[in-house]
Amino acid sequence: MVIDEVKCRENIAAMALRIRRAGLQFRPHFKTHQSLRIGEWFREEGVEAITVSSFAMALYFVRTGWKNITVAIPFSPLEIDAIHAVAANAKLNLVTATVEAVEGLGPLLRYPVSLWIKVDAGYGRAGVPPAEAETIYKILETAARFPHISIAGLLGHAGQSYQARNQKDILKVHENSMAIVKQLRESYSSAIPNLKISMGDTPTCSLATSWPGVDELRPGNFAFYDLQQSQITSCTDAQIAVALACPIIDVRRDRSEVIVHGGSVHFSKDWLKDEEGQLTFGYVAEKKSDGWGSVNRQARMRSLSQEHGILQVPSAELNQYKPGGWVYILPVHSCLAAESMAHYHGLSGKSYDHFKTGYRQ
Amino acid sequence: MVIDEVKCRENIAAMALRIRRAGLQFRPHFKTHQSLRIGEWFREEGVEAITVSSFAMALYFVRTGWKNITVAIPFSPLEIDAIHAVAANAKLNLVTATVEAVEGLGPLLRYPVSLWIKVDAGYGRAGVPPAEAETIYKILETAARFPHISIAGLLGHAGQSYQARNQKDILKVHENSMAIVKQLRESYSSAIPNLKISMGDTPTCSLATSWPGVDELRPGNFAFYDLQQSQITSCTDAQIAVALACPIIDVRRDRSEVIVHGGSVHFSKDWLKDEEGQLTFGYVAEKKSDGWGSVNRQARMRSLSQEHGILQVPSAELNQYKPGGWVYILPVHSCLAAESMAHYHGLSGKSYDHFKTGYRQ
């Protein structure tokens, strides 16, 4: 996985500026890059609070001095040892949607933690749905029994923004999801006047300009962006900051296909549907002396097996591909490709760490 | 990822016995488990030659004394440094389907290597197709110019066996793919009388009993098996030797769903279609004191996002799931789940290494 540091830093700076201007706390999700080194680029933009997706990942960042961390997946009391380890060294914000988890955790805690109550902001995956708002009361009551737990507020994730296909629809998701969460807060405002609201998926954060009533935003993917974000219009192709450099292992003229060493162990297996409805796992990008250029949507990765990828290429372009050469392919979902590769090279050959494998050559 | 060592060792022993009885060389593909420790279980069954899917993985196994390794993806001359590193320490067997790769590699080699010519045994992915058999001649001629290259033979992979849905169809693939490769060998028998044949995907190796004219077999997945193999009848559910232990983070009674911490970063994203044609990413298996038992195909992982999995569960069974608990889920494709988790725990808590992350706690 090759990272274009300039593009990545520009993405980070642009999002930091946008959120700072709107007056919100920027708590970027580090599950996308999972890198101490890339984390430093956020720090240079004034970021001090972060989001991660596991306690082990939190500990990785605690090492280099991150002191304010939200683990944005509902915790399990089974993870108590890891919770202790993080909470002993940083301000730890937990997320839950169930009374049972809080009841299980409360008696085990040794250090203070903050608790976000996850609410379903219309995505329909996890979180308390508005129709069961009494669960929020029960969580608040339960949490109040444990002195180590303080309440942060309501946390939502408008993942339905990924179903949108244009800016108008993304902004509609933005409005609706904020309205759901704010209405929930309204119902508790007499009992608990200071509930904060945390939101933030990459599509809405990339396109919205104001978040009235929201306190913090947690986008992650925007640091790299990818073909999926470009397809749903939350970024341009030029903002995509990572690509996979794949060796060409065969050119099949009979089928107008190029076979590359780049499969599901490298890209993972998220797909998009192209304009003709065909499953697509990546597109080739133009190779330039200083990175990659425009995206060639005619050169489509049409299938992935474990180690092989098959590119469907216009026959007139086949001559550009030679066994023994290599090609840039942009990923459909950069978070999963980064997780799969677990390491980065800069355009100038520098090496960047990833949580999963740490520093390596 | 939890591994049932007893089941895994039984799978290895059964395959070793089957191949030994048929009088062939057993060269198991280690890309499935990628573990030094699990590799030792193969060694105890008399295995001395192995297959891997990258040069870095080959080096991982060279460390613990594996001396005869096939890297079963067509090489790129760009990988010359890694080729040197392996070939200096082990008998290295390379795979190619192009003249260009051999021309590029030949002048760079410092140590002897063996070369398998990859032929398309009907899968239609990589390899020289029978209709272009003259490419084989050209590869043989080119290789002959370089003293470090000796010719091993023809290597095929009948990946189309994964499209089969019953034993009869798998055995048909077995017959057809062997026939294609043997006919290719026949055409070269006067020029090169000793070309060997290497075959071996898990479905055909699990069901066939004889491989007339074939010299070695390279199955890999069979060590773990998975739901995909069970669906296409190459194993039983009881032979599946790995499962993911996923914390339950929410139970959504309104939707009859259970939300687990187990997403595409854990399972990867291969799917199967269940009997009703629904995309399925895993099934729950019964929790027993000594591992897992029968597979509950009514408790289906219906979707995966990065960290979350959503189980569709019959409402009558919902009471068995509690937030704070955990559940065994069998993977659709164990190779990719193992690659994603990059670590194993035994049923008794032992820890097993994986190439991607080495030994860790």
**Residue A361: per-residue pLDDT:** 45
H-state helical runs in B189-289 = 202-207, 227-231, 264-267
Q: Which residues of chain A are within 8 Å of residue B269 when distances are taken between CB atoms?
A: 264, 268-270, 336
Assess whether pLDDT exceeds 90 at residue A111.
yes
Termini Cα distance of chain A: 13
Report yes or no: A106 at the B interface, CB cutoff 8 Å.
no
Average pLDDT over residues A76-98: 97
Burial class, B71, CB count within 10 angstroms (exposed 0-12 / middle 13-18 / buried 19+): buried
Average pLDDT over residues B257-264: 96
Please tell me which of the candidates B74, B255, B264 has its beta carbon nearest to residue A268.
B264
* CB B73 within 8 Å of CB B39: no
Percent of chain B with pLDDT over 90: 90
Other CB atoms within 10 Å distance of the CB of residue A194: 10
Lowest mean pLDDT among A46-50, A161-165, B241-245, B300-304: A161-165
User: What tens digit of pLDDT does each residue of A38-78 get?
Assistant: 999 999 999 999 999 999 999 999 988 999 999 999 999 99
Of A129, A133, A130, A75, nearest in space to A105 by CA: A75
User: What tens digit of pLDDT does each residue of B48-64 get?
Assistant: 999 999 999 999 999 88
Q: Tokens 């629904």 map to which residue? A: B278
pLDDT band at A278 (very low <50, low <70, confident <90, very high): very high
How far, in Å, CA of B114 to CA of B70, rounded?
Answer: 9
pLDDT band at A360 (very low <50, low <70, confident <90, very high): low
> To the nearest whole angstrom, how far is the Cα of B302 from the nearest Cα of chain A?
11
* CB B324 within 8 Å of CB A78: yes
Please tell me which of the candidates B104, B247, B307 has its beta carbon nearest to residue A76.
B247
What was the ipTM of the complex prediction? 0.91
How far, in Å, CA of A126 to CA of A96, rounded?
Answer: 10
Q: Which residues of chain A are within 8 Å of residue B101 when distances are taken between CB atoms?
A: 249, 323-324
Check CB contact under 8 Å for A249 and B75. Answer: yes
Dump strand ranges (E) for chain B. Answer: 2-3, 25-26, 50-52, 68-71, 91-96, 113-118, 149-155, 196-199, 216-217, 242-252, 257-261, 272-273, 279-280, 282-288, 291-304, 308-312, 326-331, 344-346, 351-352
Q: Which residues of chain A are within 8 Å of residue B339 when distances are taken between CB atoms?
A: 265, 340
Assess whether pLDDT exceeds 80 at residue A359.
no
pLDDT band at A188 (very low <50, low <70, confident <90, very high): confident
**Residue B46: per-residue pLDDT:** 97
* pTM greater than 0.90: yes
Check CB contact under 8 Å for A250 and B97. Answer: yes
